[in-house]
Amino acid sequence: MTKAVRITLAFCALALTAVLAVGCGGVPGNAVAEVDGTAIEKTDYSHWLNVVSKSGGQSSSVPDAPNFTKCVAAKRKTTPKPAQGQPKMTDDQLKKQCKSEYDALRNQVVGLLVSYKWIEGEAAKQGVKVSDAEVKKSFETQKKQNFPKEADWQKFLKTSGQSQDDILLRVKLDLLSQKIRDKVIKGKDQVSDAQIQAFYDKNKARFTQPETRDLQLVLTKTEAKAKEAKAKLDGGQSWGTVVTQYSVDDASKSNGGKLPGQAKGTLEKSLDSAVFAAQRGKVTGPVKTQFGWYVFRVTKIKKATTQSLADAKTTIKQTLVSQNQQKALDSFVSDFRKRWRDKTECREGYTTSDCKNGPKPTPTPSAQPAQ
């Protein structure tokens, strides 16, 4: 073997070692994904897989991919016996259940860890920072609110599989997200009087209370009974007496037949038309409906009212500010997801819609730092 050949083979061996260390697609061998050059290591993935599994209320451990031997055995013990004549669940069917559970956990955890990197990266890009003192203050406040006793806090850490450092990381990311959000919506609370006027003119129905009518009524099953009831009312008998004797409407019968505050369109169609065509105080009917025959009178009419622009101004401004902020946030999140997805590569077997080499993203983003 010549010296040149030995050198070439040695170089190839080094190159092969480098490729194996880097892994498929440029993701380091000890990582499940890489975000803008920063690896998400398998040790972190395994840790958060356990945390997410416990947070989902799973009594068993994380499904043992890829063979799922333990998972299948555990499911076999807890699967109820099939009804008589029904086939028994096969190991393949149980394995599919285990795989489905594992895939859901994997996607959730990869999405979680990727979102952490995205938020940290976006914060650095925008110059957004939080101090250790801010993190500690927020952490202590939340801990005191949720775990007044230290024993409860320690129990939570144990049952959740998290360390205090994990919680501090989440607090830090929440604070970064909030600061990014504040930066995105800054200045979006400015609304002009012209914009408020335009909104009021376009949406005047929102600020209008319709006419309502208070009623007193009798409902009978037949027209003949309704006419009898009307005759007695016309003859001077009290509504209370007539309602008690004739009405089959239990809801209003116990209240002397009173039905207050009815707006147009809220009653059965034929009754609604008659009520809003009737004169106040006049006994009207019988009116046929799908429920029976009504005799009624309008006891009070409350005219429609429209809130003035001056009175509505505060509400309108709040609405417009909210719309402006949401529009800015929606635009930011869309751009944020696209930019950071393009910087995210996942190892085969760990790809999600957050990875540039993964499936097409769904309309609902999995990572929103600006909430």
pLDDT computed for residue 23 by the predictor: 37
pLDDT at 362: 66
Q: Which residues of the chain carry a pLDDT beneath 70?
A: 1-25, 57-60, 362-371
What angle separates helix 91-126 from helix 164-185, to the nearest 10 degrees? 60
Peptide bond connecting 286 to the previous residue in cis, omega within 30 degrees of 0:
yes
The radius of gyration of the chain's CA atoms, rounded to the nearest angstrom, is: 35
Evaluate whether residue 274 is within a structural domain.
Answer: yes
Cα distance between residue 20 and residue 314, in whole Å: 63
Strands 284-289 and 292-302: antiparallel
Closest CA to 271 of 280, 260, 284: 284
> What is the span of the domain harbouring residue 226?
211-303
From residue 339, alpha-carbon distances to 10, 22, 31, 355 in Å are 40, 23, 21, 11
Distance CA 58, CA 50 (A): 10
Q: Is residue 344 in a domain?
A: no
Q: What burial letters (b/e) apply to 157-170, b meaning 16+ CB within 10 Å?
A: eeeebbeeeebeeb
- The domain that holds 229 is classified in CATH as 3.10.50.40
Q: Is residue 215 part of a domain?
A: yes
Domain presence at residue 266: yes
The total domain count for the chain is: 1
Q: Assess if residue 340 is contained within a domain.
A: no
Angstrom distance (rounded) from CA 296 to CA 267: 13
Distance CA 307, CA 280 (A): 26
Residue 58 lies in a domain: no
**Quick one: which of 260, 297, 258, 254 has its CA closest to 275?**
297
Answer yes or no: is 39 within a domain.
Answer: no
Is residue 54 one of the residues assigned to a domain? Answer: no
Q: What is the pLDDT of residues 196-205, one digit of tens each?
A: 999 999 999 9
How is the beta sheet containing 344-346 ordered, strand by strand?
38-41, 31-35, 344-346
Please give the pLDDT value at position 363.
62
Long-range Cβ pairs for the range 178-181 (8 Å, 24+): 179/123, 179/128, 179/129, 179/130, 180/119, 180/122, 180/123, 180/126, 180/128, 180/369, 180/370, 181/329, 181/369, 181/370, 181/371
Q: What is the rounded CA–CA span in Å between residue 95 and residue 93?
A: 5
Q: Which two tokens stand for residue 345?
A: 């590569």
Rounded CA-CA distance 256/281 in Å is 16
Whether residue 111 contacts residue 354, with contact meaning beta carbons closer than 8 Å, is answered with yes
